[in-house]
Amino acid sequence: MEINSSGADFILLGFSSRPQLEHVISVIVFIFYVVTLVGNTTIMVVSYLDSQLHTPMYFFLSNLSFVDLCYTTSIVPQMLVNLWSSKKSITYGGCALQFFFALDLGATECLLLAVMAYDRYAAVCQPLHYTVIMHPVLCQKMVLSAWLGGLGSALILCSLTLKLPRCGHREVDNFFCEMPALIKMACVYSRVIEVVVFTLGVIFLLVPLSLILISYGVITQAVMKIKSATRWRKVLNTCGSHLTVVTLFYGTLIYMYMKPQNTISHEEGQFFTLFYTIVTPSLNPLIYTLRNKDVKSAVKRILGIDKHSAKV
């Protein structure tokens, strides 16, 4: 009989092995969270308000920003409370919701990044037919497919993982309710979950990444033929931003989810988890805006800076 009922709280161990670092970590996490909130909200608002950004690229980017915003918000507030409190607990329901949203939003982001790579392929390799290929209905369907795909994977993995017997174990060896930590809590080995995790890992990590690499392989060939230095530079800026985000996000996720869990040390796991849950979502808007003149110009137009400069 399982002692831990659905009403019992879980204990998030987090960084309890190094309590002297908890306040320092909380300040760093808070700063990254504020950057994530401001950066991603700015991208969504600017993309909505500025008519010149009503393009497929910024439609996808707005969805990516919304995913990142929800992803970090499902983790960070509870994490900050626990870092500043002696009671490192989370309710069973809170843990289940945190686990579900982390899976759902993480899988959705994987698919969205692949969709964005296809958009870049169409823009660079089929510029004359771009508006026909990437028409609004197709863009909406692609985004909807990404959201539904993430939802489906989260429902499957959540239902399987939360049914595992824990034999009274309540300690989650992480700073939030993530799948590897919850599976380690189980007192039985589940071959079914191992197979499902690997299969979904291939579908949501390796397949999208392969499609992204294929898209950029074709884009690279097209870029080499471009003679206009201005257009060549613009292509590199937009594609470079997306590739940077893909490298940061997929690199850490594949390392964590496709590598056997017993080969990853506790400190190593915490570092990579911190990186793709908190650091990467804060870097995404910076990567896209700092290298993007369109977004900078849109922000100036909305704030009226251009008009003010012209009058002066």
Length of the chain: 312
Among 51, 219, 12, 17, which residue's Cα sits nearest to residue 120?
Answer: 219
- β-sheet bridge partners, residue 12: 172
> What residues pair up with 10 in beta bridges, in sequence order?
90
CB 73 within 8 A of CB 135: no
Report CA dihedral (158, 159, 164, 170) to the nearest 10 degrees: 50
pTM for the model stands at: 0.86
At residue 299, the pLDDT reads 75
Starting at the edge strand found earlier in the chain, the sheet holding 171-172 runs 89-90, 10-12, 171-172
- Write out the two tokens for 9: 């709280």
1 burial (CB, 10 Å; 0-12 / 13-18 / 19+) is: exposed
With contact defined as beta carbons under 8 Å apart, do 218 and 242 qualify? no
CA distance 298 to 51: 9
The number of CA neighbours under 13 Å toward the Cβ of 30 is: 11
- Residue 6, pLDDT score: 45
DSSP letter for each residue of 191-208: HHHHHHHHHHHIIIIIHH
d(CA 191, CA 51): 52
H or E segment and range at residue 247: helix 229-257
**pLDDT truncated to tens, each residue of the chain (312 aa)?**
233 444 478 888 888 777 778 889 899 999 999 999 999 998 999 988 888 888 998 999 999 999 999 999 999 999 998 888 878 889 989 999 999 999 999 999 999 999 999 998 998 888 889 999 999 999 999 999 999 999 999 999 999 998 888 887 888 888 889 888 888 888 888 888 888 888 888 888 889 999 999 998 898 888 887 776 776 777 777 788 788 888 888 888 777 766 665 555 667 777 778 888 888 898 888 887 766 677 777 777 887 765 544 444
What is the per-residue pLDDT for 307? Answer: 53
- Give the tokens for residue 53: 């950004």
What is the identity of the amino acid at 176?
A: F
**Could you tell me whether strands 171-172 and 10-12 are parallel, antiparallel, or unpaired per DSSP bridges?**
parallel
